[in-house]
Structure formats: C-alpha cells, structure tokens
Amino acid sequence: MAGFGRVLGCLLVVGALAGCGSAVVGDSGRGDAQRMLDRRAGAVLERDREAFLGTESPTADPRKQLATGAAEFANLRNVPLASWSYRITSFRRTGEHATAGAELRYRVRGQDRAPVTSGRELRLVHRGRHWYVASDEPARKSGQQLWEQGPVRAVKGRRSLVLGVGQSTAGLRAYARLADEAVPAVSRAWGTGWAGRVVVYVPRSVKGMAGLLGSTDGDYRGIAAVTTGEAGGAGAAPADRVIVNPDAYGLLGDFGRQVVLTHETTHVATRAHTTAATPLWLSEGYADFVGYRGSDRTAAEVAPELREEVAAGRVPAALPADADFGFGQNAERLARAYEGGWLACRMIAERWGEERLRAFYRAVGAHGMRAGAVEDALRDVLHTDLATFTRDWRASLRDRLG
C-alpha cells in the first residue's frame, strides 16, 4: 500500500420432482447449469457476442446488477484474456429459478501464470429446456471486476499492462511510463528474481477502487494505491494487481507519482517473501525505502509527521505496530507508521548494507509464524536483538528529525 498526499460459497441441495406418485432425486439442473456456464465462458474467450447473449435471460433486470451481460461482454473487449471459466460451488433451485455460487477463474495473457479466482453469485432462470443467467454479481466479501464498472481501455508498456475505466488512452500511457520506470528501479534494489512486470488497474474514481477491493470508498480516500496479491505467492500464483485511486494519485506531483508506483511494484517483487510472519513496518517500510532510493529527499522531507512528534519530544517507544497501518484511522498516525517503517529500513541499509536488508526481509518472511520472526532475523542476519535495534532506531529518529 502506498500513502497519502505526503507523496505519496457450500449448499447441499436435494431436488425432488413429484408426479404420478414418483420422485426423481438428482442435482435438479446443476449439471445443465454448469454446461451453460461452460458455453458462456467459451463465448467470452472466442469473443462470440451472439453465443454469449444466448446464455442471458431476456428477463435480466439491469437494476439488480452492476452491469448487464451485454454490457460486460462489450466492456471486456480490450482485455487480453488467456483463459476464462466458471465452476459452480453451490446450487439452490426453487421451481424455475436457481441461485448458484461460482468461482470465476481467468488469466490475463502475458501476465498471469495461474488463474485469478473471484467468487460470484448468479441468479439463473430455467426456460424450456435450458438455464439462462439473470444476473451475475460479486459474491459476498468478493470485489467487483474492473469490467463491471465500464468499458476497459488497455495500454501495454514495455514492462507493464495498464487497464482502466473512465480514463483516456493518454492518461493510461502516463501510468505505463511510470510503471515501466518502476520495474527496473525495483530490480536494482531487490534483484531480478521476480516476474519483472506489473499490472495496473485504474478505475474511474476512489469509489471504483473500493468496489474492486470489496470495501467502501471511505476506507481508501487518502490512499494513492494498493497492491493485491497472494501472500507468499510464488511461481504458481497469479500476478498481483496494483490498484490506483485516481483521486488521491492525481493530487501528487511527478516525483510522488513515481514513488507510489515504485512502492507498489516493490510489493509485487517481494510478494513471494512476504508472509504472515512479516510485520507491516517491514513490508511497507521496505517498499518506501525502494520508492525513495536514489532520491535527494531528506528524512525530514519524507517524514514530516514523525518529525513533528520528535521535535515535540514524543519519540515513539516502539516500532510501528500493524494496527498503526489501519486505513480507517487518523491520517497522521498512519503517516507516522509509514515514515517509521521507512526510517527503520533506511537505518538497516546504512548500517549493515542493502544486501543485509534484503536478507533480513527474506529471513523474516521465511520464519513461518509471526512470533519470533523479527527477533530471530535480527539475531541471525544483523547480529543484534530487538531491544538494541529499537534503541538504535529511536536514536536515529532524534538525529535525523530532531
């Protein structure tokens, strides 16, 4: 995640059809529904609009879904898909209607090594001998897909793919240029043992960003961008997505925009080594370290909120806790958490070197559990302990920000 304006479904169903004193027990149409969804998926991949609309119910109500099937099909036209499939995970039938839980799995060509999986809830209607889709919506706790928000434009950079809704082609090219710069900058700091490319989503507004994340816009109003992905994901994981908040991002200058995309690209590069053992001060601090690496910005310029605290004699007693990075809280507290993590990583780089900083990051992530991860890595990689490290970090805050 990158900062603010500082720069920053299972349901068992037994279907019984009564008639002439007999009952037929089976899946009540689940198999037929799955076969219909298979045809629908094939139509998406083959760009066959007539076949796709042949799976749509003529009684579909556009007021009950983000986008009608016809609109979604059109919105997907520019997305370079390598695969697209549905798998029904639950099926409940009532007469000629059914509600199905499903997994949508798709890959973007040239980007995803494994499918992205998204939960969907479908309302189905049985007419004659066939099932049709009346609505197709995100499942509970699942985010929207970009093409549910409008027609997608795509711009391919040398090392990036930018997909946007409500954005001009020229604007998306500007994102691609910055992303193309971010990739080699991250490789210079972290190394080249990662995909070396980035996928950026640019929705129309912060509301669209929140929809993609299955949240509300108030949670992300001051956040310029976030990165979604599978923690600890390795070669079999789909590519991460950097999701931009165009409202906050647009308030940044050129330098801030580059820092944000470099920060988020760092999350993409480090994902395989970022696990439940990794505290946020390290993952966010390292991403900021790479974002600012090579710039001439001073600590006071990068960490204004923390500078105010230190100048007032309120030096933090401990490294930022994960709770300090919560989006729904005080913006100054959130800024101080990012700044404190950045300064901790910068201190490691200056005192032990960047190679040790990378080794420390990997050692923490490889620990397997949060308890003891930082302590063991401090001992084994930096040959220090948490109390000493914290004391030295606090001293560096006074020296740089006091």
The model's pLDDT over 256-273, given as tens digits with 9 standing for 90+, comes to 999 999 999 999 999 999
For residue 356, pLDDT over 60 is answered with yes
Q: What's residue 18's pLDDT?
A: 28
Across 47-67, average pLDDT: 81
Mean pLDDT over each residue of the chain, to the nearest integer: 90
If one counts every other C-beta atom within 10 angstroms of the C-beta of residue 18, the result is 8
Query: Residue ranges of the domains in the chain?
Result: 15-148, 275-402
10 Å Cβ neighbour count for 372? 12
Closest listed residue to residue 183, CA positions, set 245, 113, 238, 264: 264
8 Å CB contact between 102 and 130:
no
> Would you call 211 exposed, middle or buried from its count of C-beta atoms within 10 A (0-12, 13-18, 19+)?
buried
Q: Is the pLDDT of residue 127 over 60?
A: yes
pLDDT of residue 17: 27
Q: CA 358 to CA 364: how far, in whole Å? A: 10
> What percentage of the chain exceeds 90 in pLDDT?
81
Contacts of the segment 381-384: beta carbons below 8 A, 24+ positions apart: 381/356, 382/348, 382/352, 382/356
- Domain 15-148, what fold? Nuclear Transport Factor 2; Chain: A, (3.10.450)
Query: Stretch 62-72: mean pLDDT, rounded?
Result: 75
Phi, psi at 74, each rounded to 5° = -65, -40
Q: Pinpoint the alpha helices (H) of 299-330.
A: 299-302, 304-311
Angle, CA of 225, 226 and 228, to the nearest 5°: 150
Looking at residue 329, its pLDDT comes to 67
Torsion of CA 287, 293, 296, 302, to 10 degrees: 10
The whole-number pLDDT of residue 231 equals 64
pLDDT of residue 60: 61
Q: Kindly report, residue by residue over 143-194, the tens digit of the pLDDT.
A: 999 999 999 999 999 999 999 999 999 999 999 999 999 999 999 999 999 9
Task: Kindly state the average pLDDT of the residues 60-77.
Answer: 79
Identify the pLDDT of residue 22.
Answer: 26
Q: Taking residues 49-62, what's their average pLDDT?
A: 84
Q: What is the DSSP letter of 136?
A: E
Report which of 111, 139, 132, 135 is spatially closest to residue 123, judged by C-alpha positions.
Answer: 135
pLDDT of res. 296: 93
- Cβ neighbours of residue 78 closer than 8 Å, sequence gap 6 or more: 151, 152, 153, 154, 163
- pLDDT value of residue 62: 63
Helix (H, G, I), strand (E, B) or coil at 71: helix
Instruction: Report the pLDDT value the prediction gives residue 156, as an integer from 0 to 100.
Output: 97
* pLDDT at residue 283, as a whole number: 97
- Can you tell me the distance from the alpha carbon of 77 to that of 65, in angstroms, rounded to the nearest whole number? 20
Inter-residue contact 257 to 178 (CB < 8 Å): yes
Least confident segment among 64-73, 174-183, 197-206:
64-73
